Structure formats: structure tokens, C-alpha cells
Structure 1
Amino acid sequence: MAAAIQTLTARLEAITTEMAQLTAQNQKLAADVQTLNVQNSQLVSDVQTLKTTSFDGSVYTRWGRTTCPQNGSELIYAGFSGGNAYNKNGAADYICLSGDPLWGVYDDSAQAYALKIYGTEYEFSSQFSDGGARFFGQNLHDHDAPCAVCRSSRPTTVMIPGRNQCYPGWTMEYAGYLVSGLDIHAAPTNYACLDANSEWEVGDGESKDGKLMYLVEAACGSLRCPPYVENREITCVVCSK
């Protein structure tokens, strides 16, 4: 009899110990569930924030202008179109230099192996006797090209060569004509979209060359015609969305 009671007592103690362990595990699981609920609430809040957040937008250069369009875009800075001289090897890009430079360490003596950066001139009279007036509404030849760096409130911008209108659903920043340097010049060149309403600095019509801009025409062959047309000037448009 005493042995049976001792056995039952041992079993009861074992069950009591197991119940205590299960209770502790249950309490830990409840705490884990509470933590997961808090994390889930935070994730839901973060998703809602992302849905309602306005992202920072996108940046583009408006070649030939000193202002940005009034369509939700703002001016970061206006300045001078620049680049490598047309008759020298070196960099290819057009670059928009700030109109109010600041200097770091400098040495004003000429360095034999320094790449120079020059201003950019419209060079249209060699192509058209009116200096490009038929495209831009005024004779731009030998005038210096300004530029403006703009920030659109929309997160994506793209330059589309071959169109002067955006595709549906996109907002036009500006439209114009594709320009580049000439293939007979030593300097490499890229393409840029020059605003159809380009401006210049007053009184800057003296020919000093530097980086040059020429209109770009279609050349049929590997470029399919139609839709393109031999020798026709290529339009361009900068769009945002």
C-alpha cells in the first residue's frame, strides 16, 4: 500500500512539474505573439507611410535655358554649358557649369597636362544661313549656350530622341532638337536635347568656339526609313512621370 502511494505521489509531482514547464512555455509563446503583433503593427504603419510618401523626384538638365518649366519642377542652379574644345581629344560630355563657382585649392599658372573646359557655342550658320532661326525662332549662331539643372517633383525623367511630345501618361519638361559635335572634329561628343526656345547671354555673339553644338540629322540605312527621313533634323523631348 505504501509503495503504491509513493508511486502515485511521484507521478503527481512529475505531472505538476510538467504542467509548470508547459505554463512557462505558454507564457513565453504569449510574449512572442505579443512581440510579433507589435512588429506587424509597425510594418503596417511603414507600408501606409510608403503609400502616402512623396518621393524626392528626379533631376535633369535643360540645355539652352536658364529657367525650369512651371509644371512642378524647380531650379537647382543655372549656369553655362561647357565641355572639351571641339578640336582637341578628351572628354565627350556637355556639362552644365555653375553660374556662381566656388574654389578650393588652386594654382593659376597654366598646367601643360591639364584638360581645359570651354564654354559651348551654338554653331548653326555652317548648316543654315539663318543661324538656326527656322528651328529656334532666332539666329543663335556663335552665341553661348546657357543651361539649367532642374528637379522634377516626379521620380523619373527620360530624354526621348526622335519625338517632340511625350507618350501618354508622361509630363513634358521641355522639347527641342538633338544636338552634338561634328564627326570631322577631333573631340568626341555625346548627344544633348537643346530646348526649342533656347536663349543666350546678351552681347555674347563673338565667335570663340570651344565646345560646339550642331543639329543632328537622320542618315538612312541601318537607321530605318521610314519612319525616319533622310537628312531630317531629329527632335527630342524630356519627359517625367
Structure 2
Amino acid sequence: MHCMRISRLIVLFLLVRWSSGTKDKRLVLHSDEDTAAAIQALTARIEQLVAQNNRHESEIQALKSGSVDGSVYTRWGRTSCPQNGSELIYAGYIGGNGYNTNGAADYICLSGDPLWGVYDDSAHPYALKIHGTEYQFAQQFSNGGAQFFGQNLQDHDAPCAVCRSSRTTNVMIPGRNQCYPGWTMEYWGYLVSGYYTHSSPTNYACLDANAEWEVGDGDDRDGKLMYLVEAACGSLKCPPYVEKREITCVVCSK
């Protein structure tokens, strides 16, 4: 009972302070139950304010130290980043090894404004070559993939953009064109890779559904190539997948 009386006095003091600046707000405590309820409400409010203050302190310290959270991803097929809290680090060209040679498997986003160190411009037979990347959709679709991308992309050179999201984590989800709840979409598109009979190994990439190309570049010069990826039922469960249906993809952040 002694502790309850002390708690009640504390609550009365806080309530007086709370109500002193107003004319209309009054609260009368008739019992120990009223006091307990008031203490619970005040405690919850205090915890909320403390948590809010801690967040503000963390944000201030991050700004002071320059260590603002974020994550980086590549937007394949575009030269800009989405207007959703992401910013462009650089734009450039999708590169890789030639489609008919062994070598590195990855698509890579080459800078659009290169700088050079030490170099030797003479030919070297043992040097690994890096090429630009062409869209190769006409073998699958006579309109060069226009039903997927809204335009004929055949033989056009593929650009890219490296983006920084204000969110700390990002993931590419193959098989979906929407993010799961609680995640923010950076962009969606279609899964692409190299052709299975070609010598070059190739990883998968998520090509933006609104893919662009470099101006005036429609010549068939090959290099690294991109083909749409389809589902093959068997060890891949159908349903939910469908035989020969093109696989979507989405890049999400949180």
C-alpha cells in the first residue's frame, strides 16, 4: 500500500504538470485501479517517446559520421534508377565475354565514362576480351521480343545502371513480377541468360521490362548475348510453373 501511495503521488504530479498548460483537460483518480491504469498509460507513452528519441539520436549520429544506410543493385537494360528513394551511381554498358568463347560467366555493368591506368594497345592472343551485350530475341520471336518489352530489341546493345537504394537490403526474385508484402519494388522484368548451346557460360540477370538500347546501334555484332528464359517442367514443378512460359523477375528492397 505504501508503494501504491507513492505511485499515486507520482501520477498526480505528472498529471498536474500535463494539465497545467490546458484549461479543458482534467482527470480525477477515484481508486487504486484508476491509479494503476494511469501509470500504465503514462509508462507506455514514456516508452514510445524514449524509442522515438533513440531513433532520432541514431539518425543524427549516422548523418554526423556519414554512415547512412543503403544498398546497391544493378538495373539491367536501363540508364536511370527508379524515383522511389534510389539514386544513380553511374550508367554504362552491359559487358561480358564473347558468346562463343570460354571465360567469365557474369554480365557486368561497365562504366560509361572509363578512365585508364597503364595500358598497351597492341594485340595479345592470351588476353581475355570483354564485349558489349546484344539482345537476341528474334530467334525466339519474330518481332524481337516486342510483346514483352514494347519494342523490337533484336541486335540492339544493352545498357545498364548501378543504383543505390536508401533501403538497406535488396534481392532479385526470379519467378515473380511483384514484391512480397513489406518490400519496395525497384523494378521488374524478365529473366535472361545466354543460349545453352553456346560455349560461354552465363549467369541469369533480370532485364527491365522497359529495356532501353543505345542510340543507332542496331548492327548485328554479337558479343555477350541475352536470351529470354523459359520454364522446363520436370524437376521444376508444374504447376505452379508452366512449360515454355517466360520467367519474370523483380528486384525488391527493404
Q: Fold conserved (TM > 0.5)?
A: yes
* Secondary structure of 1:166's aligned partner: coil
Distance in 2 between residues matched to 1:46 and 1:70, nearest whole Å? 29
Q: Which residue of 1 aligns with 2:85?
A: 72
| CA distance, structure 2, for counterparts of residue 211 and residue 193 of structure 1 | 15
Within 5 Å, which residues of 2 pair with 1:111-190?
A: 111-190=124-203
In structure 1, distance between residues paired with 2:241 and 2:55: 46
Structure 1 position 236 matched with structure 2 position 249: yes
- Counterpart pick for 1:96 among 109, 126, 131: 109
Closer/same/farther in 2, CA of residues 48 and 75 from structure 1, 3 Å limit: closer
Partner SS state of residue 179, structure 1 = strand
RMSD: 1.6
> Do structure 1's residue 106 and structure 2's residue 80 form an aligned pair?
no
Please give the per-residue CA displacement for 1:163-205, whole angstroms capped at 9, x wherever unaligned. 0000000000000000000110000000000000001111100
Partner residue in 1 for 2:209: 196
Which of 213, 224, 228 is matched with 2:226 structurally?
Answer: 213
Query: What whole-Å deviation, never above 9, does each CA across 1:118-163 have from its counterpart, x for those lacking one?
Result: 0000000011001000000000000000000000000000000000
Q: TM-score, normalised by structure 2?
A: 0.75
How many aligned residue pairs are there? 197
Could you list the per-position Cα deviations for residues 72-126 of structure 1 after superposition, in whole angstroms to 9, with x for gaps in the alignment?
A: 0000000000000000000000000000000000000011111000000000001
CA distance in 1 between partners of 2:217 and 2:211 (Å): 14
Whole-Å separation in 2 of the counterparts to 1:51 and 1:82: 38
Map of 2:43 onto structure 1? none
Residue equivalent to 1:87: 100
The 2-side partners of 1:167 and 1:67 are apart by 24
Greater C-alpha Rg: 1
